Amino acid sequence: MNPNMKWAIVTGGSRGLGYETAKALILAGFFVYIIGKDEERAQQSAKVLGCKYRAVDVADSEKFRQVLKEINLDAVTNGLGILDVLVLAHGVMSEKMSKTLRTDDAEWRRTLSINLDAVFTAVNELAPAMTEARTGRVVIYSACLGRMSGPGTHGGLAPYRI
């Protein structure tokens, strides 16, 4: 690998906005690692994009942190240096979560784990080196639902909107 090449990690990179972001970064000359929950989908997306991938459920903070460490080690070992761009494009919104009164504790915790805790885990694991090197960018995707509340909307999610 070219030691001057910029590199990125994109969570949710096997589909949707994460996939399109990974594609745009690759077209801009970045070396990209995508992270997706589904092994088969992540592998297929990486093959189409021409990048590396890892499959992990970001709700499992220990496994997610380990995957981030492994990706970082792989990149450094291959001469890429400090992470240039971290894109957190993963997220979940279930029909059940659309109304707080229909949500059970397990669904609530899982949604918070994916949409909030995993963001903390990734930033906590990777941003210190970026900050110390005074380089890099962190991009966190969020849904427009985070700004909406009121009858008939997903207003029950307000307690964790950032």
Res 149: pLDDT: 54
By the 10 Å C-beta count (0-12 exposed, 13-18 middle, 19+ buried), 153 is classed as: middle
- Closest among 104, 34, 152, 15 to 112, alpha carbons compared: 104
Domains and CATH numbers, the chain: 7-144 (3.40.50.720)
Res 160: pLDDT: 46
User: Can you give the pLDDT of all 162 residues of the chain as single tens digits?
Assistant: 676 789 999 999 999 999 999 999 999 999 999 999 999 999 999 999 999 999 999 999 999 999 999 999 999 999 999 999 999 999 887 655 556 667 778 888 888 899 899 999 999 999 999 999 999 999 999 865 555 555 555 544 554 444
Res 20: pLDDT: 98
Res 4: pLDDT: 78
Structure pTM?
Answer: 0.87
Res 57: pLDDT: 97
**3-class secondary structure per residue, the chain:** CCCCCCEEEEECCCCHHHHHHHHHHHHCCCEEEEEECCHHHHHHHHHHHCCEEEECCCCCHHHHHHHHHHHHHHHHHCCCCCCCEEEECCCCCCCHHHCHHHCCHHHHHHHHHHHHHHHHHHHHHHHHHHHHHCCCEEEECCCHHHHCCCCCCCHHHHHHCC
